Structure 1
Amino acid sequence: MKALVLAGGSGTRLRPITHTSAKQLVPVANKPVLFYGLESIAAAGIREVGIVVGDTHEEIEGAVGDGGSFGLEVTYLRQRAPLGLAHAVLIARDYLGDDDFVMYLGDNFVVGGIEPLVRRFHDERPAAQIMLTRVGDPRQFGVAELDAAGRVVGLEEKPQVPKSDLALVGVYLFTPEVHEAVSSLKPSWRGELEITDAIQWLLDSGRRVESTVISGYWKDTGNVTDMLEVNRLLLEELDQRLDGSVDDASEIIGRVVVEAGARVSRSRIVGPAIVGAGAVVRDSYIGPFTSVAEDCHVVDSEIEYSILLRRASIHGVRRIEASLIGRDVEVTPAPNTPRAHRLVLGDHSKVQISS
């Protein structure tokens, strides 16, 4: 079995962060989302991985390399534009050959990995096997309809009137039969080749499609709210580790990681939280569910339930919550007089100001 990992999307819902960074490489708990997926694939015993990349291919390739650090053999497959999940399967046809494969969306996060799903697929070997989860607003997802016996009878992509609340999670398993389905597709109303249409083609052709409704945790980390929630979940699993420098005037409470080379002085950190290598925390408070990446500076400030990317700098600010702060960002207080906000914001930024 091979894996096909999709890492070519533009990440419009995470702008302006994704104007300068691939959405799959935005970190949660100080590790890129994509890496968690690759680790899950390796843990399931899969070694050959094709990664579909687009405009951010240089960044993805630079971060993942040949896959050796994950125990994988990685091949990169260029997609000229994000034309749908089924289009990714289409361009990967030669690479996949006649092998079964798991398709994994690179910005998705599944707690517990995919090993049980892969094992079941090996044992039963349907034409397709999908994962489903109940969601509050299924209009934002591919949606599956099940009959009274729990069998998949229909699928639809982002329907205006959903027939169920069961959304497709971004992990799919296929036999080579899916290639016939994909090659027969025409673009949907969205102008894309939909993987839901390919699975529906298999159903209409009498092929067997199995599903698993997961009760565990899954997130599409395509927006800030979900990124923060995944970050919270991962930080919950931390064990305290203080490899960096923490002075006697500081207070560390709970599950806190201070990486080697980080320096904490005259500060209070309440876990779960992580402070990356080379970061400086001085005269500050870092609250639960906060990830401070490498080489960040947090000075005379308070921050909680947030993610700071590399080299972000927070000086003299009270108080920051539920925020995603990008690389090399500087956050400082405005002058007291005149009482005005001075902002330099990129396209698609979102700002909330307490006046």
Structure 2
Amino acid sequence: MDDVEAVVLVGGKGTRLRPLTLSAPKPMLPTAGVPFLAHLLSRIRAAGVRRVILGTSYLAETFADHFGDGTAAGLEITYVVEEAPLGTGGGIRNVAKHLSAEDVLVFNGDVLAGTDLGAVVATHRRTAADVTLHLVRVQDPRAYGCVPTDTEGRVLEFLEKTDDPPTDQINAGCYVFRRSVIDSIPEGRPVSVERETFPGLLASGSRVSGHVDTSYWRDMGTPADLVHGSADLVRGVAPSAALPGPTGEALVLEGAEIAEGALVFGGTTVGRGVRIGAGARVEGAMLFDGAVVGEGAVVEHSVVGYGARVDDGASVVDTVVGDRAVVGAQCELRGGMRVWPDVVLPPHGVRFSPDV
């Protein structure tokens, strides 16, 4: 698909993910050993697309410092910065002058997916669409905007979240735009493709197609989704060519030390220089570089930030431990708790179990 270009929209800090590492935007958070955005870029490259426009409004230099001109990823990357947040539609319009292809793949930068991008483009061209949306079927669509289609795959309408959705098809955050549609989006102001651009196209009689499948898909907007998405990448459930090691029960990066008798599994990422003590149990977790898990500690489906410590016998379940924070010995954290960076919880400082 060397006649297709890609646009990736990456937003701000992602406040729903705090506290993690407060110095990096969400798409740069380590996910299965590399910045989250690297997984999307690897899929774009694998589909045969070579030119990517990265649109951002926050810490753009962070992306450029890491990915450079894209050569190392087999891509040509151009960076475009918004002077002020412009929304999804406004962000797409903001990069228009950098585009040259007739068909443009557009991605929301905080979605982990496994759809066949070539098939989405093929649907777009076969139906002579102005815009084609990747739609994924989910078990419970009530939390998402629903997109019903007719028997020919034509999008009928865009529905906000509802308790009685008429379809299990939702907008998966991947589109193919005809270049002329991008040029028609109002310039210099916030525009939502979901609320303005797509409904406007339907009202005008334009062809909006849906490419529907049941491929892997996860919105990475919460800590729980980040943890589970990372584990899926490590185990090979979610596809990526950017994984810095083989798929399996754990991804262990250089310099990490795992003591004899420790159990590390479930798609855990063990960052550089991490130490895991004897008898510890680590399942489906993300341990950022320099983190320490003490002897007999339990870490399940949680994030342990850069240089943070979970001391001996502590239990951390469904929790985010910020950079350099300390969870004292025998503490128990669970159920979506968050420990901010540099906070120190003393031994036995937080417990749910009765002490005897």
Q: Which TM-score bucket, shorter chain as reference? A: 0.7 to 0.9
CA shift in 2, pair 1:64/1:354, >3 Å: farther
User: Counterparts in 2 of 1:149-298, with a 5 A limit?
Assistant: 149-156=152-159, 158=161, 163-183=166-186, 192-237=191-236, 255-272=249-266, 273-298=268-293
Q: What is aligned with 2:309?
A: 313
Q: Could you tell me the percent identity over the aligned residues?
A: 28
CA shift in 2, pair 1:160/1:66, >3 Å: farther
The alpha carbon displacement at 1:160 in A equals 8.3
Q: What is aligned with 1:67?
A: 70
Moved more, 35-44 or 23-32: 23-32
CA shift in 2, pair 1:216/1:67, >3 Å: same
Does the aligned pair in 2 maintain the 1:131–1:171 contact within 8 Å? yes
The alpha carbon displacement at 1:34 in A equals 1.1
Work out the CA distance in 2 between the residues paired with 1:226 and 1:3.
25
2:9 corresponds to 1:6: yes
Does the aligned pair in 2 maintain the 1:133–1:169 contact within 8 Å? yes
Work out the CA distance in 2 between the residues paired with 1:275 and 1:98.
41
Q: What is aligned with 2:344?
A: none
User: Counterparts in 2 of 1:13-92, with a 5 A limit?
Assistant: 13-17=16-20, 19-92=22-95
Q: TM-score, normalised by structure 2?
A: 0.80
Q: What is aligned with 1:94?
A: 97
Does the aligned pair in 2 maintain the 1:152–1:209 contact within 8 Å? yes
Does the aligned pair in 2 maintain the 1:156–1:196 contact within 8 Å? no
RMSD: 3.2
Does the aligned pair in 2 maintain the 1:145–1:153 contact within 8 Å? yes
1:150-179 CA deviation, whole Å, 9 max, x = no partner? Answer: 421112455687554422001111111312
CA shift in 2, pair 1:309/1:61, >3 Å: farther
Does the aligned pair in 2 maintain the 1:51–1:77 contact within 8 Å? yes
Is the partner of 2:8 in helix, strand or coil? strand
1:45-98 CA deviation, whole Å, 9 max, x = no partner? Answer: 111111111122222222222212211111111113333100101211211245
Is the partner of 2:230 in helix, strand or coil? helix
Does the aligned pair in 1 maintain the 2:280–2:294 contact within 8 Å? no
CA shift in 2, pair 1:344/1:173, >3 Å: closer
Is the partner of 1:17 in helix, strand or coil? coil
Does the aligned pair in 2 maintain the 1:157–1:196 contact within 8 Å? no
Does the aligned pair in 1 maintain the 2:304–2:322 contact within 8 Å? yes
The alpha carbon displacement at 1:184 in A equals 8.6
Q: What is aligned with 2:318?
A: 322
Match of residue 105, structure 1, among 90, 96, 108: 108
Moved more, 31-40 or 144-153: 144-153
Give the residue type in structure 1 aligned to 2:300: E
Is the partner of 2:185 in helix, strand or coil? helix
Q: What is aligned with 1:333?
A: 329
Work out the CA distance in 2 between the residues paired with 1:227 and 1:143.
23
Does the aligned pair in 2 maintain the 1:86–1:198 contact within 8 Å? yes
Q: TM-score, normalised by structure 1?
A: 0.80
Structure 2 unaligned blocks of 5 or more: 238-243, 332-337, 342-349
CA shift in 2, pair 1:291/1:193, >3 Å: closer
Work out the CA distance in 1 between the residues paired with 2:50 and 2:71.
10
Work out the CA distance in 2 between the residues paired with 1:115 and 1:309.
37
Is the partner of 1:154 in helix, strand or coil? coil
The alpha carbon displacement at 1:122 in A equals 4.7
The alpha carbon displacement at 1:285 in A equals 1.6
